Structure 1
Amino acid sequence: MTSIPHPIQYQGSKRNLASSILRFIPSKIGRLVEPFSGTAAISIAASSKCISQEFWINDLNKPLIELLELIVEKPNEIADAYTDIWNDQHSNSIGHYFRVREEFNRNNDPRLFLYLLARCVKGAVRYNSNGLFNQSPDKRRKGTQPEKMRKNIEGVSRLLQGKCKFTHLDYKDVLAEVQANDFVYMDPPYQGVCGDKDSRYFSGIDFDDFVLALEQLNRKKIAFVISYDGKRGNKIFGNELPKELGLKKIEIEVGRSSQATLLGREEVTVESLYLSSNLLKEPILTMEGYISRAPKQPTLPEPYGQFSTATR
C-alpha cells in the first residue's frame, strides 16, 4: 500500500501490513473502531479501499489523538506549523530538537509532537518513568521534508475528513460503547513485552482485563480482528489469547528481521491476527479456503506477508 499517505513514521504502525489485515475484513462494514489507533493506519487504508466511511479513532495517548485530529480536520494548519518548526532547525538541528522536546513535555502541543515523531530515532516513541517523551533525535536526518509532509497530510485529510470520531479514552470504555454494526480492529501493546508500563508504549494493558473485554465483545456478537502476539525467529512476544474465546489465529510473515541480519542471523518476523468467531462465518471471507492454500512453514515473504494457520 505504498500509495496510501502516512504523515507519521511510527514504529509499530501497521501501515505496511494494512493490505494483509484488510483481507480479513469484509469488503463493506459499518463503522470501523480502533481502540488502540496509534497512527490510524488501518482506518486510513480502509477508507482508501471504501471498506468503511465512518471511523472511531481512539488512543490513550492524548497528544497523538489531537495530532491525528489536526491532520484530518485542519490539514493546512498542522502542515504550516510543521514547516515553521522544521525550518527553524537548520542552525543547530540537534539542539533545536531537544528544545522542542522540552517544550512538548511542558505543554503536550500536538504540533510539536509531529516534528518529534518525524525526527526521532526510527520513529520510535519512548517515554520515561514520569511519562515524558525522551526519545533522541536521528542525527543522520532532519525529518520529513515539509513539502512531502504537507502532501501526506492532505492525502489523509481527503480520506478521513468529516468521517471520524476522535477520543483518548481507555480502550475498555470504547469497547463498552460499540454497537452491533461496528467492526473493531485492535492493535494493543504485546503482553509480555510491556507489562503494565514500558518505555516503548504510552501505556500497557493488563492481559486478564483484555481477555474479559474480548469475552464481552463475543457476547455482544461484535465482529473484531486483533493484532496481538508475534515472534522473531525462536523468540516469542506475548502470550496467545485463550482458546476459550473461540478465535482463529492467523500468522502473517512480516519479513526478515533487519536487526538479526546485521548480527548474521536469518530470522523471519511473524505477527499474529486473531479473528472473532462470528467473522469466520462471513461468506465473503471464504476463510478456510484461503488459509488452506497458505504455507505451513515460514518462507521468504512476498510484499505484505504470507499467511499460515497457527498451531493452537
Structure 2
Amino acid sequence: MRKELSKLDYFTLKVFIGLVEFKNGSVVAQKLDTTQPKVSRALSNMREVIHDELFVRRQYGVEPNIMADKLYPIAKSIVQAYEQMADVTAQLPEKNQLIIAAQEHLAGFLVDSISEVCQRQGLEISVSIQAWSDNVQELLAQGKIDYAITVNSTQSESVRNFKIGDVKNYFLAARKAHPFFDKEVSLSRLLENKLVFINYAKVGLIEHWFERYTKDHSLDIKMSFKTTSLAMALNHVAKTDDICWTASIFSYLYFNSRSDIDYIDVTDFYEKVLFPNGDFASYSYYLQYHQSHDNDFSTALSKLLQQSLALAQEQYEQQSMAN
C-alpha cells in the first residue's frame, strides 16, 4: 500500500478534493481547467490505490463515502503543502477571475471591496458579475459562483455565511414634489397610493412583508409591481405617482444621488407605528461563498465589507442628526 501511494500525484489529489467539495465531475473539470475524462482517470487511479470506491453515484453527481470523508482532510493538507512549496499558498485565490452575484445596488459595494482586498494582497483578479436569479444558492453550492451578498441567507452545508451587517433603515421614495411628502406619514395615506416593492435577494412568488402585513390586518393594498431591481423601481416612480418602499443604507446611497427622487426615512414608522409591540422582522446582509474559498482572501473580504457597511451606516446617522 505504501508503495502504491506514490501514484497519488498532485492532480489526482486535487481531483479527489474537488469531488468531495463539489460532488460533480464536470464542475471539478471546469475548476481545474481540464477534461472530464481526465477527472475520471484520476478518480480510477485513486480507487485502485486506496482499494475503495470512495464515492457513491447520485442522480446529479457523486457523494463521498466514509473512506472519502476520512481521507479528505489529509489530502487537503498534502495539497496545501504542495502549494506552499510552489509559493502559491492556499491563502490566495486559485484563479484570476471571480464570479459574483448580487443585486445591482449591492454589486458595486462587493466589487469595490474585492478590488481593495486584491490591492492590499497584491493580486490581479478580474470580477464577472452574474445577474441575480432564482438559482444563485444552487450555483454557490456547486462552486459556479464564488461570492454573493444575500439577505437572511439560506444555510447550506457547502456554503459559508458571514454576517456583514443589519438592515437598520427603511425608506419611502417617490418622484420630486410628490404630495405624499407634504404631510406626516400615516398608514391610511400610504395605502391611498400604488406601491412598488423591492424583493431583496429573493425571487419568484414570494410575498413582500407589507403584503403579509395588510392581509393580517384586513387592509386593501394597491400594488404596482415587485422587482429585485432598485433602478427599475426608481425609474418607474420618478415618472409616476407610485411610491417605492425600500430599505437599508445601500438603497439610500443609490437614490440619494438622483435628482429626480425624493425620499423619507420611515424607520420609526415601521418599528413604532406598524409594529408597536416590537414584533417586526429583522433583516441582515451576508457574504456567502463556497467552502473551498475558506482562506485569508475571504476572511479579509468579509471584514472589509463589514467595516464598510458600518462606516456608511455611521455617516448616514451623523448626517441625519445634523439635519
What TM bracket, shorter-length normalisation? under 0.3
TM-score by length of 2: 0.22
TM-score by length of 1: 0.23
The structure richer in strand per residue is: 2
